[in-house]
Structure 1
Amino acid sequence: MRRLRVLVLMHPDCVPPDSTDGYSAQEINLWKTEFDVVSTLRAAGHDVRPLAVQEEIRPIRDEVDNFKPHVVYTLLEEFHYTTTFDQHIASLLELMRIPYTGCNPRGLILARGKDLSKTLVQNRRIAVPAFGVFPMHRKVKRPARLALPLIVKSLSEDGSNGISQASIVDTDEKLGERVAFVHERLQTAAIAEQYIEGRELYVGVLGNNRLRALPVWELKFGTLGGLGARQIATEKAKHDTDYQERVGIVDGPADDLAPDVTARIQRTAKRIYRTLGLDGYARIDFRLSADGTPYFIEANPNPEIAQSQEFAKAALHDGIDYPSLLHRILALGISRAKAGASVG
């Protein structure tokens, strides 16, 4: 790829240093994605400029005018302290006619709402857990069709935010308590889903029109089940590096799946990707039940792209090294802009 000017948008707390020397694993975990993207693209010869943004769009406009980037690599997961505002940055870049990486605004919106994405996917006859939504400031009453146990989450937050072992409830009283927790701590509506006992699987998908499904990846919970805990991707299991090491939580290829099951899951991931109007790159999450049914849990456009994370590791397992992966993501953003508009 030719030498590019790349503007990288990121949260102010995630601006990386020039080196990881002297930092703990927990400290690096905060900005590992930003560090990996910036340092890898610089090593490849690109002119890379990080930009911290949170409350104002003017810095983005100023940098676009001054730096004149060929493409913007957006690593923002929120704007103005609100996760649902990330799609507005993509919309702004489209209005400015600047190529950007990742998903288009429509796909971000459709994937963000777990109820909407599940409804759309279910309409394509893809298995999803039964679910119910509990809006803010409403009395919690479990629909009769929604059998216990359930797992309670934020309707719109991602990254396992707010999910713990207490998120799985087996009584109406616990359901009410956990919904109240989501309302009060996360300030969002709650969704309660049928709890699927099974394996936690992820499928990365790359592409705008022609799609490539990466190898099926699995989050493996080590000794967690033996400790009497449910094997779910809690906030602690996803982000606490000390806890991961202590319990033995690792991720890797789901090697023991039958070839036909693997192919089915990858096809389903691509169908979900298209159904939700996603492009660029995304990770589709499943729970695989004991009877072999892959249940769609959620879609994650613009997932963590650090070299140590599931998406990049699955790509490497499929023969795409990290610099090549970032270059493909840049190329997808540029080619979408050349095509003229976002999906839909």
Structure 2
Amino acid sequence: MNAPTGRRIRVAIVFGGRSTEHAISCVTAGSVLQAIDREKYDVVPIGIATDGRWVLEADDPDRHRITGPGQLPAVDGERATVSLTRTSAGTGLVVSEPSAPPQAFGEVDVVFPLLHGPWGEDGTIQGLFEMSDVRYVGSGVLASALCMDKAFMKVALQAAGLPVMPGTTITAREWADQQMVVHLRCQELGYPLFVKPARGGSSIGIAKAHGPDDLAAAIEGALAHDPKVLVEVSAEGAREIECGVLEDLDGSVEVSVPAEIRITGDHEFYDFEAKYLPEEATELDVPAILDEDTRLRMQTLAADAFRAAGCEGLARVDFFLMPDGSLVINELNTMPGFTPLSMFPQMWAATGLPYSDLIDRLLTLALQRPTGLR
């Protein structure tokens, strides 16, 4: 699909959302708004407020930045509301303000959903786009939902014969009714353990339990973000290394050079502050310093995981490189961050695909991919 002759391709950049990763989605959107090719694309920023309202947001990258500790951006829910409408002519936007009748805002050619976490990265908004018959960047409903739920993602990867960390899943009901059983299951895994919301991201709600005394607080902290919690064996002594995966127009996949995150200072693991606040002490090796055999094994596993989960468009595959040289898949992210500090664009830049070209490639692929069963 191409835009009609005589006009630029219209891209709706959707960001914000109802999840705890609202602010990070806004930061990602600001980065894309800054870098997208304005000569080729007519950009419409659409923000989803924390209460779920869709609004026509400011096309201002500086408004969507982290300006300091505790100063996180957010969608302005008081702006004019916007909705997708499906007509015989295509899918368009309608803008509504309290003092005026609804106004047609024009057709949308493709959506770039820069949403992280539930109600955006988990297949929900992908289903809306499918029903609206509008093309969009990234994985479809099933792969988005599967990779958002880390517990089911592990099941799918294990079924494909891919290595994952041992773990157990705990629901809010189990924790309320069977705490002793939960403690025993965790004891069998062996401490230390990582406790995380099963459907979260950006390291929000994650804690490390060094022993039984830490477990209750860690589980309750994760349950504050998600009624389903994943407890995993800590990859002690492992290196954290990531690969970016991109789908090609012919359906094949390409894997970036790997990159490594090294935590310094007072951070015990790659938490929210280490990821997103510039003054925090993290060091990145892009590309990671690896021997050739390890690099090739990692890139092969990344492509295998992408296919096993049914991903489309893009994904970031996170690994633990264990002290014995074995590789374990930590997780897949179907909409990895695009912030200035994010690994995904840095890995592709190091592979030879600059940020603006990466955005263009994703949009080109989305425009050529049909909606519906495929």
Coordinate RMSD, CA, aligned:
2.4
- Give 1:233 shift: 1.2
Percent identity (aligned): 22
TM-score by length of 2: 0.77
- The structure-2 alpha-carbon separation of the partners of 1:5 and 1:84, relative to structure 1 and needing over 3 Å to count, comes to closer
128, 137, 146: which is aligned to 1:92? 128
SS at match of 1:148: coil
Partner Cα separation in structure 2 for residue 121 and residue 193 of structure 1: 15
Runs of 5+ consecutive residues of structure 2 not aligned to the other structure: 55-80, 86-90, 94-104
Residue 296 of structure 1 aligns with which residue?
Answer: 329
- Greater Cα shift, 39-48 or 171-180: 39-48
Partner Cα separation in structure 2 for residue 130 and residue 12 of structure 1: 32
Post-superposition CA distance 1:188-228 (Å, at most 9, x none):
22111010021111111011621010110111223x3xx5x
Q: 1:240-319, aligned counterparts within 5 Å?
A: 240-242=277-279, 244=280, 247=281, 249-319=282-352
| Larger Rg, first or second structure (1 or 2) | 2
- Give 1:336 shift: 1.6
Partner Cα separation in structure 2 for residue 60 and residue 267 of structure 1: 41
- Give 1:254 shift: 4.3
Residue 45 of structure 1 aligns with which residue?
Answer: 40
TM-score by length of 1: 0.83
- The structure-2 alpha-carbon separation of the partners of 1:145 and 1:122, relative to structure 1 and needing over 3 Å to count, comes to farther
Question: Could you tell me which amino acid in structure 2 is paired with residue 9 of structure 1?
Answer: V
Residue 154 of structure 1 aligns with which residue?
Answer: 197
SS at match of 2:201: coil
SS at match of 1:241: coil
Question: Could you tell me which amino acid in structure 2 is paired with residue 335 of structure 1?
Answer: Q
Residue 220 of structure 1 aligns with which residue?
Answer: 262
Residue 104 of structure 1 aligns with which residue?
Answer: 140
Question: Could you tell me which amino acid in structure 1 is paired with residue 316 of structure 2?
Answer: R
| Bigger relative contact order (CA 8 A; separation at least 6) | 1
- Give 1:234 shift: 1.2
Residue 176 of structure 1 aligns with which residue?
Answer: 216
Contact 1:10 1:51 in 2 (8 A): yes
The answer to whether 1:192 aligns with 2:231 is yes
- Give 1:83 shift: 4.2
Contact 1:307 1:322 in 2 (8 A): no
Question: Could you tell me which amino acid in structure 1 is paired with residue 365 of structure 2?
Answer: L
Partner Cα separation in structure 1 for residue 323 and residue 307 of structure 2: 27
Residue 61 of structure 1 aligns with which residue?
Answer: 84
Q: 1:130-169, aligned counterparts within 5 Å?
A: 130-138=166-174, 139=179, 140-143=182-185, 145-163=188-206, 167-169=207-209
Runs of 5+ consecutive residues of structure 1 not aligned to the other structure: 14-27
Higher strand residue share: 2
- Give 1:300 shift: 0.5
- Give 1:314 shift: 0.7
Question: Could you tell me which amino acid in structure 1 is paired with residue 42 of structure 2?
Answer: D
Partner Cα separation in structure 1 for residue 257 and residue 312 of structure 2: 18
Point out 4+ residue stretches in structure 1 off by more than 6 angstroms: none
Partner Cα separation in structure 1 for residue 244 and residue 47 of structure 2: 27
Residue 9 of structure 1 aligns with which residue?
Answer: 14
SS at match of 2:123: helix
Partner Cα separation in structure 2 for residue 84 and residue 68 of structure 1: 22
Question: Could you tell me which amino acid in structure 1 is paired with residue 289 of structure 2?
Answer: D
Partner Cα separation in structure 1 for residue 340 and residue 193 of structure 2: 33
Q: For this pair of structures, how many residues does the alignment match?
A: 311
Partner Cα separation in structure 1 for residue 120 and residue 127 of structure 2: 13
